[in-house]
Amino acid sequence: MKSLIVEDDFTSRLFLQTVLLQYGEAHVAVDGDEAVKAFNDACDAGHPYDVVCLDIMMPGMDGHAVLDAIRKIEEARGVRGLRGVKIIMATALGDMDSIMSSFKEQCDAYMIKPIDAQDVIRHLKRFNLIEQ
């Protein structure tokens, strides 16, 4: 499994990387621009990401803009629906508006910080990225 962690907070990045490294590659982007470039580069190389853990509140390009950019990259490459990368929004925003807008923008899961390792693993299993 190949994952991309998009998180501006060092502690959150380190935690997610520790969890995801148990299951394969875990790359890190510290902001939205870096994330979109990493995602596009991985697609260009023929080795796209399986899952993206995406923070919403980041300076510059926020998580919603990154999610939109990723889905547009996939659409331009003919990747649609369930064939796309699984995106888990990981954020401190627990209000219903943030949650609903994330799902409307085609995220696959939503986790409210502080993140629990078992929640991450549960989503990976649900996505069939790791064994049950």
Span 53-84, pLDDT tens digits = 999 999 899 999 999 999 999 999 999 877 89
Distance CA 1, CA 123 (A): 13
pLDDT recorded at residue 6: 98
What is the pTM (predicted TM-score) of this model? 0.95
Distance CA 128, CA 118 (A): 15
Counting as low any pLDDT under 70, the low residues of the chain are: none
pLDDT recorded at residue 94: 80
Residue 62 DSSP one-character state: -
pLDDT recorded at residue 132: 77
pLDDT recorded at residue 80: 82
Q: Which CATH number fits domain 2-126: 3.30.420.40, 3.30.470.20, 3.40.50.2300, 1.10.3720.10?
A: 3.40.50.2300
pLDDT recorded at residue 65: 96
- Shortest CA distance to 58 belongs to which of 101, 5, 6? 6
